[in-house]
Amino acid sequence: MKFEQYRIDEGIKKAISKLGYKKPTDIQFKSIPPILKGEDVLAIAQTGTGKTAAFAIPILHILQDRKIEGRPDGVKCLVMAPTHELALQIESVFYQLGKHTRITSFCIHGGVDQEPQIKQLNKGVDVLIATPGRMFDLVSQKALNLDRVEILVLDEADHMLDLGFIKDIRDLMRHLPRKRQTLFFSATINEKIKNLAYSLVTDAIRIQISPKDPVAKNIEHAVAFVEMDDKRFFLEDLLKNNLEKKILVFVRTKVRAERVKKAMERVEILTNTIHSDILQEERETTMLDFRTGHLKVLIATDVSARGIDIPDVEYVINYDLPDSAEYYVHRVGRTGRGNQKGQAISFCSTEERPLLEEIEKNLGKPIHRIEISKNDYQITLDFSDDKPHDWKALLEEAEGFEAKRKKKKKKK
């Protein structure tokens, strides 16, 4: 079935056509009809399957259809997202798909001044995309009223639980009408998520898109065994051999992100970082630079992983292996989006081998090994511009140490 055959608003069809989409993805094919009928939906689908459009398309149609009839102003649809980046990405999808409709969408999140957000809310917003913190701030200040919400969407619900938002989600229900349509989207499912989902939805249509391999087939992913202290030299080598490629590098912590950035600066490779300590304005500028290709290498932590939906990311580098097997799938899923090919390479140190075993167990098969001979390994270290083996400097340091030792001996 093609999009043009769906009974949806012509303005939405026009936007879909301009974006170059002809056929729905699996999650879109299975989600759009029940959402259009007003059913609650519980959907489990991996990253990169087009699930934002799976709920944005029918929601825009429903609201456009009702808007023609005329009714009171106020937020009609609330979309909850765990991170700033994901919230902004969802807003972008609603904007692109709703260009030829009368529906207004707007995103609120922390890290920026709230006054402009309040002004926009006062002007009238149909679809509100929000992160929990800022949303509750505005609700408590009575700057945001949610009593006219007709559709609630919880996107990346598993990540919201990981970040500790379960109490916030339950508190949210006190501010919403009981009679509403609820759409619950998650990349993974476990007992905790199941319990939350079934406490929010009513007679939900359950949809699960779970291919045997959770990593998309157009992504080639492999692992190289590299010791922790040597990773920067292998990253340098990889980046210098792919200067024009758009590359996303994942590390485990904010401190690691900044250290890797500094290491790349020493060898004159331009990179930037994105993590929770970066100011929102800087984060948005960095994301825009990466999206447009002005920045070729972005270093990110897992908190940002699900919000990075950037076209044409050709490589994902797991500089550090993630703590959770699920995060591996989310990380590598940042490349090979849609019909594009992508490559993901992981550096695994001796201490990270248990993490690799857990990831492979989750995938149900081993990850392809990149064989590096001892000779090639040493060459990568020796040819680094960071001079890991600057023998002259080491000799001078040793001579200086010996001179100090002799001086001390004479004093005695």
Whether pLDDT at 282 is above 60: yes
Amino acid at 117: Q
The pLDDT, as a whole number, for residue 258 is 94
CB atoms within 10 A of CB 354: 9
Q: DSSP 3-state helix, strand, coil percentages of the chain (rounded to 5)? A: 45, 15, 35
CA distance 161 to 182: 17
Q: Which stretches of 64-209 are assigned E, i.e. beta strand?
A: 77-80, 105-108, 127-130, 151-154, 181-186, 205-209
Q: 219-391, which class in CATH?
A: alpha beta
Whether pLDDT at 70 is above 60: no
Average pLDDT over residues 255-268: 94
Query: What secondary structure does DSSP assign to 322-354, as a single string?
Result: -SSHHHHHHHHTTSS-TT--EEEEEEE-GGGHH
CA angle 304, 308, 310 (to 5 degrees): 160
Please provide residue 349's backbone torsions phi and psi, each rounded to the nearest 5 degrees.
Answer: -90, 170
CATH of domain 3-209: 3.40.50.300
Whether pLDDT at 388 is above 60: no
Whether pLDDT at 83 is above 90: no
The residue written with tokens 């609120």 in the block is 108
pLDDT in tens, 15-58: 999 988 888 988 999 999 999 999 999 998 876 678 899 999 99
Whether pLDDT at 411 is above 70: no
CATH 3.40.50.300 in the chain is located at 3-209, 219-391
Amino acid at 93: V
Mean pLDDT, all residues of the chain: 87
Query: Is there a contact between 271 and 297 (Cβ–Cβ < 8 Å)?
Result: yes
The pLDDT, as a whole number, for residue 400 is 57
